[in-house]
Structure 1
Amino acid sequence: MTSLKLDEIFGCTYFPTTLDGNAGTWFKTHHPGNIYNFAQLKYLFLTESNFVQLRKYKGDSHSIIECKKKEGESVRDYFKRFINGTLDVPGHDEGLIVGAFTSGISPGPLSQNLMGKKPNTRAKLNEKVERYLR
């Protein structure tokens, strides 16, 4: 426990020396004693206007619709990339996801299977794709 406390004090003392460039300049604009913990430092860093470009891009319905299977990409890899891409889109519609995935794959057995009895949720889509891949 004492060791952990010393490591924390050491880290806090020398952390500013590890910053250079814009990050170092930004950090020096904050007065000593105004940042109480790492969570507050992280929040300030991500919300300050100088570092807007560091925020993660949140996609929209267009990014879901434009996600297509690449030439030579396996269905498994495309499905993983597609689903991971939809996780960053807030307030997405399940029907949009199913339709976009179906239109993004090449014509073949899987697309015909999905067109036959369209799944209406991401879970049912996942089930059908996994069954196809097996």
Structure 2
Amino acid sequence: MDTALPITSLDSKVTFTGVEDPKAHLTAFHTQMMLPEGSDIVYCKMLMSTLAGAALESFVSVPDGHIITFYQFATLFREQYLINRAPPRISYNEFDIKQYQGESLKEFLNRFGIQVVRLKPTDEAMMVHAFTKGMLSGPFSEWLLRYYPKMFSGIRR
């Protein structure tokens, strides 16, 4: 019986050494492994193939039969490396985003927008205020202070 796996290219596969964020690694793993009908055994073996160094050693030593499902393996994996998880982003972190000297307004707007997507803030007025506070002084910042849009989408236009 042929046991070839219908997976995507592994040329640039993700690797986990034990110092990375386990949740981010599992997300990257799921994104890369396009296994529409993979079994738990296949998923577990494929996840094992992404581990390296101490991370691999710690899971190789797990007794046979201890892990039965991929969900169980992923849970154990996340718990094992819980300390490595990235701290949750808090919406006031957007006040830390500042325009660099020499950075164009478009570059700053794009960088700020990426952070906003990551933060998922719910207060539009606070986003506008954070963006305005992070901008370098100039004609656009003066315009924003005068006409102060209520929505971040108003800045993007």
The structure whose RCO (Cα within 8 Å, separation 6+) is larger is 2
TM-score when normalising by structure 2: 0.60
Structure 2 letter corresponding to 1:95:
A
Question: How far, CA to CA, are the matches of 2:58 and 2:73 in structure 1?
Answer: 11
Question: How far, CA to CA, are the matches of 2:73 and 2:49 in structure 1?
Answer: 15
Gap regions ≥5 residues in structure 2: 7-40
Question: How far, CA to CA, are the matches of 1:79 and 1:72 in structure 2?
Answer: 14
1:70 Cα deviation from its structure 2 partner? 0.5
Root-mean-square deviation (CA, aligned residues, Å) is 3.1
- Give the 3 Å change call, closer, same or farther, for CA 16–101 of structure 1 in structure 2: closer
- Give the 3 Å change call, closer, same or farther, for CA 101–7 of structure 1 in structure 2: same
Question: How far, CA to CA, are the matches of 2:108 and 2:117 in structure 1?
Answer: 14
Is 1:115 equivalent to 2:145 in the alignment?
yes
Counterparts of 1:1-134 in structure 2, within 5 Å, are 6-7=4-5, 16=48, 19-33=51-65, 34-37=67-70, 41-45=73-77, 47-53=78-84, 55-127=85-157
TM-score when normalising by structure 1: 0.68
Structure 2 letter corresponding to 1:6:
A
Higher mean alpha-carbon deviation, 93-102 vs 111-120, is at: 111-120
- Map of 2:28 onto structure 1: none
Gap regions ≥5 residues in structure 1: 128-134
Q: Percent identity?
A: 27
- Give the 3 Å change call, closer, same or farther, for CA 13–68 of structure 1 in structure 2: closer
Structure 1 letter corresponding to 2:111:
R
Structure 2 letter corresponding to 1:7:
L
1:119 Cα deviation from its structure 2 partner? 1.3
Higher share of residues assigned helix = 1
1:126 Cα deviation from its structure 2 partner? 1.8
Question: How far, CA to CA, are the matches of 2:68 and 2:118 in structure 1?
Answer: 30
1:15 Cα deviation from its structure 2 partner? 6.2
